[in-house]
Amino acid sequence: MYKIVKTAKLSENQYDFWIEAPKIAAKTKPGQFIILRTNEEGERIPFTVVETDQDKGLIRFIFQVIGKSTSELALLKAGDSIKDVSGPLGMPTEIENYGTVMIVGGGVGIAVIYPVLRALKEAGNKVITILGAKTADLLILKDECQEYSDELIITTDDGSLGMKGLVTDAMENIIAKNSIDHCWAIGPGIMMKFCTMTAAKHDIPIFVSLNPIMIDGTGMCGCCRVTIDGEIKFVCVDGPEFKGTEVNWKEFLGRMKQYEEEEGVSLTDYQKVQVKDHG
Amino acid sequence: MARKSRTKTPIAEQAPNIRKSNFEEVCLGYTVEEGMEEAVRCLQCKNAPCIANCPVMIDIPGFILAIKDGNMEEAAEILGKYSNLPAICGRVCPQEKQCEEVCKLGMAKNFEPVAIGKLERLVADWALENKDFSKAIQSDTPKIGKIAVIGSGPSGLTVAGDLAKLNYEVTVFEALHEPGGVLTYGIPEFRLPKRIVKKEIESIEALGVKIETNAIIGKTITMDEIIEEFDACYIAVGAGTPNFMGITGTSLNGVYSSSEYLTRINLMHSYEFPKYDTPIKQSKNVVVIGGGNVAMDAARSAKRLGAENVSIVYRRSLEELPARIEEYHHSVEEDIQYYWLTNPVEYLDDGTGNLSGVKCIQMELGEPDDSGRRRPVPIENSEFIIEADTVIEAIGQGSNKVLLSTFPELKLNKWGYIEADPKTGITSIPGVFAGGDIVTGAATVILAMGAGKVAAVEIDKYVKNEKQTPVTTNV
C-alpha cells in the first residue's frame, strides 16, 4: 500500500497528489512515469511523475478526471492509500544543453512537460515555454513553469488568459523572433501532431511524449505499441518520448479510441452506484 | 499380477457446452478413491523410466504406491521433496511428452499410460486442503545468507522454496502487482485456478520467503544494489516480450498480442468487467495465430468471452502442434475451428482503423528445418480471407529486456537470452545465476522449475564456498 500524504484540487477536474513511494522517488528522472492501481478491482493506469522529494520519499503526480478510475482516485484524501504503484517506468528525457529550447504543454500535459522544462533549464538551456488550456481556470502549474522559463506564453481557447488561440500560433510567433534549437510538445495527441508539423516546417527537431493505452508498463504486452519510423516500438520501454516527425500519428490517434465504448460503460456504471450509495 | 485396466481411470470434467461460457476449471480432478483405483495400474518398475523423463525427477512410483495404500500424507511428503509447485505441474505439464510418454504400461499394446499428472494433481490438491501452513518450521539457526530472486514465476518460486528450506533468507522481487509470473497472467483460470496458484505461493511464503511486488529490477532497484545487498541472486524474469509478425495491419484496433489478451483476462479480470475496471473487446469472430499452449488459451478464452466463431490459424499440421494434446482436445470439444497449414499475410482494415478480416495463405510442408520439423512453405495464389473483428497473435515471446538493458555486464547469447550453464545456472558474473525462459527462451513450467532446482543447489554451494574463503584485506 502506498500512502497519500497530500492532495490538492487544481481546477474543476484536475488533482494534484503526493504519495509515499521512497524507492520510486529515489530513482525517478524527468520524463519517467508510474503505473498505479487504486484498489483490488482497479485497472493499471500510467501517470507521469511531476516531481519527487527524495528526502521524504515522496512522488507527485497530477491527473485529470476523465473516467471511472480517475473519478475514484479523485475521491481519495491525504491518509488514504493506493493499492499498487510501480516505477519509475520508461526512458528518461535526454537532458542536455541544446541552446534555446521551446517547450509546449497543453492541458494536463503541462504536468508532464514541467519536470522536463525544469531539467532543461537546470542544464543551462534558454527555455521559452508555451502553455495552452481551454480556459484560464484549467491552466495548471503556471507559477512553477514561470520560475524555470526565460519566457512564458499562455494561450487559451476562449482568450480568458493570455493570447486567444492555439499553441501552434504561439509557436509560429516565437519561431519568427528566435532561433530555436530543440522543441518539446506534450499534451493531447492531436496537439502534439500539429506541434510536430509546425516544428518540422521550420526544421526544428521536436520530441513528443506519447500516452497510449498501457497495462503492465514493463514491455510484456505490446498494448502501447506505436510505429516509429516504420518500426514497432513499445512506448512503455522505448519511450514515452519519441521524435515527433517519426511517429505514425494516424495509427497512434486511432488506437487511443479502442475502448471508448467500454470506458463509457464503466463510468456510467460507477456513477449509478455512486448516486445510489451517496444520493 | 492383478489385471490392469487398459485405459486411464476416467476423470470428471465440465461438459463442453457448459464450460465454454465460464472460466471455471474444466478438469475436476480425481477423488481419492478414483486416485487409488488409478494408482493400482502403476507397474512399480524398478528402473522407472518415468522418473528420468521428469525434469525434476519426482519419485513417481513412490508417491503412486502411497496413493494406492490410501496414504495421502506420505504421497504429499514424497512429492514435496521434489516439487515446490505440484498442484500446478500436475495441471500444466505436457505429460504426454514427459513422464507419461515413457510409462512402461503405456508402451504395452492397447494400453494407456498411468495418469501420472492427474495423480500428482490429486495429491497436491489434497495437501493444499489439508496442510497447515502455520506449522511451518521457523528455524532458530542463523540464516546462511541472503538471496535475491528476480521474478516470481515458476523458476523463481522454485529456487526461493528450495533455498528457504536450506535456511537462506530469500527475497523474491516481482515487477507486477501479483506474484506467479505466467501462472498468474498467462495460464487461464479454466486450466489453472488462481486460488491454486495463490495457495501454492502461500506455501512457499510459509517457508519464510519474502515476496516484494511492484519491484522492477533495473528500474525500481538496480542490479548494482542487488549485488551489493545480497550474497547471490537468481534471475528468472522469463521471456515476456511479445513478438509480432509485423505484417500489414498489425496496429489496427482489434489486433492483440496473446500476452496482452491473456494479461487483461487473467491478471486484470477483464472477463468480470465492469466489476473489474480493465476492459476487453467483445468479439464476434476471433482468429488466433499460432499452435502452442498460449494459442489454445487465447482461443478458449475468447470463446468464453462470448465470441461466436473462434479459429486457430497454424502454419503446420496437427502432427507438429506444440500444444498439450489435452488442451487441443478440449479446444475442439469447445468448437474452436482449425485452419491447418495456413499463415496470415495481412490484417484488413474496415476503413475506420478497425480489423475486418485476416488474409491468409495456404502452406505445404517442405524439407525439415533445424528443429527437425518440416518447414512450411506458402502455396502461390492460395490466399483467402477469414472474417474477423479480433486477431490474437500467439507466435512466441522474446527475452524480457528491461533488466538486461540496464545490466550490460551480463553476457547474453545470440538470441538475446542470458548465457547460463543449463546444468548449474551459472552466468558470466560470479554470484549471479539465471534460469527458466530467460535462458532457454519460452519453454514449459516444469523446465523452468527444473532449472530452479539445479540453480538452488549451485547457489547454496557458491555461497558456502564464498563465506569460507577468508576475506583478503589490504595489509
- Cβ–Cβ contact B133 with A under 8 A: no
The answer to whether B260 contacts A24, with C-beta atoms less than 8 Å apart, is no
Q: Which of B124-138, B197-211, B363-377 has the lowest mean pLDDT?
A: B124-138
The answer to whether A259 contacts B279, with C-beta atoms less than 8 Å apart, is yes
The answer to whether B175 contacts A216, with C-beta atoms less than 8 Å apart, is yes
The residue type found at A111 is A
Question: What secondary structure, in 3-state letters, does chain B show?
Answer: CCCCCCCCCCCCECCHHHHCCCCCCCECCCCHHHHHHHHCCCCCCCCCHHHHCCCCCCCHHHHHHHHHCCCHHHHHHHHHHHCCCHHHHHHHCCHHHCHHHHCHHHHCCCCCCCCHHHHHHHHHHHHHHHCCHHHCCCCCCCCCCEEEEECCCHHHHHHHHHHHHCCCEEEEECCCCCCCCHHHHCCCCCCCCHHHHHHHHHHHHCCCCEEECCCCECCCECHHHHHHHCCEEEECCCCCEECCCCCECCCCECEEEHHHHHHHHHHCCHHHCCCCCCCCCCCCEEEEECCCHHHHHHHHHHHHCCCCEEEEECCCCHHHCCCCHHHHHHHHHCCCEEECCEEEEEEEECCCCEEEEEEEEEEEEEEECCCCCEEEEECCCCCEEEECCEEEECCCEECCHHHHHCCCCCCECCCCCECCCCCCCECCCCCEEECCHHHHCCCCHHHHHHHHHHHHHHHHHHHHHHHHCCCCCCC
Tell whether A189 is covered by a domain: yes
> Residue A267: its pLDDT value, please?
85
Cβ-contact B457, B438 below 8 angstroms: no
Q: Is the pLDDT of residue B2 over 60?
A: no
Q: What is the mean pLDDT of residues B455-471?
A: 86
Q: Which of B177, B221, B253 sits opposite A254 (nearest CB)?
A: B253
Name the residue range of residue A14's domain: 2-89
- pLDDT, averaged across chain B: 92
Question: What secondary structure, in 3-state letters, does A217-251 show?
Answer: CCCCCCCCEEEECCEEEEHHHHCCEEEHHHECHHH
Match 548465457 to its residue by C-alpha cell.
B419
Question: What does the pLDDT look like over A157-166, one tens digit per residue?
Answer: 999 999 999 9
Are both A192 and A165 inside the same structural domain?
yes
Question: Taking CA B176 as the corner, what is the angle to CA B171 and CA B177, rounded to the nearest 5 degrees?
Answer: 85
Question: What does the pLDDT look like over B35-80, one tens digit per residue?
Answer: 999 999 999 999 999 999 998 899 999 999 999 999 999 999 999 8
Computed from CA positions of residues B89, B95, B98, B99, in that sequence, does the dihedral angle turn out positive or negative? positive
The answer to whether B177 contacts A226, with C-beta atoms less than 8 Å apart, is no
Nine-digit cell at A268?
456510467
Are both A128 and A184 inside the same structural domain?
yes
In what helix (H) or strand (E) does residue A2 lie, and over which residues does it extend?
strand A2-9
Q: Is the pLDDT of residue B137 over 90?
A: no
Q: In angstroms, what CA-CA distances link A11 with A15, A68, A135, A138, B169? A: 7, 18, 11, 6, 49
Q: In angstroms, what CA-CA distances link B210 with A69, A188, A267? A: 30, 42, 37
Cβ-contact B9, B113 below 8 angstroms: no
Q: For chain A, how many structural domains are there in total?
A: 2
Are both A133 and A241 inside the same structural domain?
yes
Q: What is the mean pLDDT of residues B353-375?
A: 90
The residue type found at B21 is S
Which chain B residue is nearest to residue A268, measuring alpha carbons? B274
Secondary structure letter of residue A111 according to DSSP: H
- Cβ–Cβ contact B382 with A under 8 A: no
Q: Which of A24, A37, A266 sits opposite B220 (nearest CB)?
A: A24
Number of other residues whose CB lies within 10 A of the CB of residue A158: 10
The answer to whether B263 contacts A219, with C-beta atoms less than 8 Å apart, is no
Nine-digit cell at B348?
484488413
Coil, strand, or helix at residue A172? helix
Secondary structure letter of residue A8 according to DSSP: E
Are both A40 and A109 inside the same structural domain?
no
Counting one residue from chain A and one from chain B, the pairs whose CB atoms sit within 8 A come to: 121
Tell whether A267 is covered by a domain: no
Query: Which are the contacts of A120, defined by CB distance < 8 A and separation ≥ 6?
Result: A95, A98, A101, A103, A127, A184
Q: Is the pLDDT of residue A91 over 90?
A: yes
> Residue B255: its pLDDT value, please?
96
* A228 φ/ψ angles, rounded to the nearest 5 degrees: -115, 115
Question: What does the pLDDT look like over B314-349, one tens digit per residue?
Answer: 999 998 899 988 889 999 999 999 999 999 999 999
Which chain A residue is nearest to residue B401, measuring alpha carbons? A219
Match 519511450 to its residue by C-alpha cell.
A239
Are both A170 and A232 inside the same structural domain?
yes
Question: Taking CA B74 as the corner, what is the angle to CA B68 and CA B77, rounded to the nearest 5 degrees?
Answer: 130
Coil, strand, or helix at residue A186? strand
Length of chain B (residues): 475
In what helix (H) or strand (E) does residue A25 lie, and over which residues does it extend?
helix A22-27
Number of other residues whose CB lies within 10 A of the CB of residue B282: 13
Cβ-contact B13, B28 below 8 angstroms: yes
* B389 φ/ψ angles, rounded to the nearest 5 degrees: -105, -10
> Residue A266: its pLDDT value, please?
82
Which chain B residue is nearest to residue A35, measuring alpha carbons? B214
Read off the pLDDT band of B475 (50, 70, 90): very low
Q: What is the mean pLDDT of residues B110-121?
A: 96
Are both A122 and A243 inside the same structural domain?
yes
Read off the pLDDT band of B368 (50, 70, 90): confident
Q: What is the mean pLDDT of residues A217-241?
A: 95
Which chain B residue is nearest to residue A236, measuring alpha carbons? B402
Tell whether A279 is covered by a domain: no
| A62 annotated binding-site participant | yes
Domains and CATH numbers, chain B: 12-130 (1.10.1060.10), 146-240+399-468 (3.50.50.60), 250-394 (3.50.50.60)
Match 468479439 to its residue by C-alpha cell.
B283
Query: Which are the contacts of A169, defined by CB distance < 8 A and separation ≥ 6?
Result: A155, A163
What is the spatial distance between Cα A113 and Cα A109, in angstroms, rounded to a whole number? 6
> Residue B471: its pLDDT value, please?
55
The answer to whether A221 contacts B263, with C-beta atoms less than 8 Å apart, is yes
The answer to whether B278 contacts A215, with C-beta atoms less than 8 Å apart, is yes
Match 466463431 to its residue by C-alpha cell.
B309
Question: What does the pLDDT look like over B424-459, one tens digit per residue?
Answer: 999 999 999 999 999 998 888 888 998 999 999 999
Tell whether A274 is covered by a domain: no
Match 495465430 to its residue by C-alpha cell.
B289
Which chain B residue is nearest to residue A263, measuring alpha carbons? B279
Q: Which of A86, A250, A257 sits opposite B216 (nearest CB)?
A: A86
Query: What is the distance, to the nearest Å, from the Cα of residue A168 to the centroid of all Cα atoms in its chain?
Result: 18
Helices and strands in chain A: count of H runs, count of E runs? 9, 17
Read off the pLDDT band of B134 (50, 70, 90): low
Cβ-contact B115, B6 below 8 angstroms: no
Tell whether A162 is covered by a domain: yes
- Cβ–Cβ contact B273 with A under 8 A: yes
Are both A37 and A85 inside the same structural domain?
yes
Are both A76 and A104 inside the same structural domain?
no
- Chain A residues whose beta carbon lies within 8 Å of the beta carbon of residue B268: 43-44, 215
What is the spatial distance between Cα A138 and Cα A10, in angstroms, rounded to a whole number? 8
Tell whether A195 is covered by a domain: yes
- Chain B residues whose beta carbon lies within 8 Å of the beta carbon of residue A87: 216, 219-220
Question: What does the pLDDT look like over A207-224, one tens digit per residue?
Answer: 999 999 999 999 999 999
Domain boundary among the residues A89, A122, A145 is at: A89
Tell whether A244 is covered by a domain: yes
- Chain A residues whose beta carbon lies within 8 Å of the beta carbon of residue B353: 250-251, 254-255, 257
Question: What does the pLDDT look like over B381-407, one tens digit per residue?
Answer: 999 999 999 999 999 888 888 888 889
- Cβ–Cβ contact B411 with A under 8 A: no
Residue closest to B444 by CA, chosen among B195, B111, B99: B99
Are both A35 and A169 inside the same structural domain?
no
Are both A69 and A207 inside the same structural domain?
no
- Chain B residues whose beta carbon lies within 8 Å of the beta carbon of residue A84: 177, 213-214
Are both A17 and A131 inside the same structural domain?
no
Are both A173 and A240 inside the same structural domain?
yes
The answer to whether B216 contacts A87, with C-beta atoms less than 8 Å apart, is yes
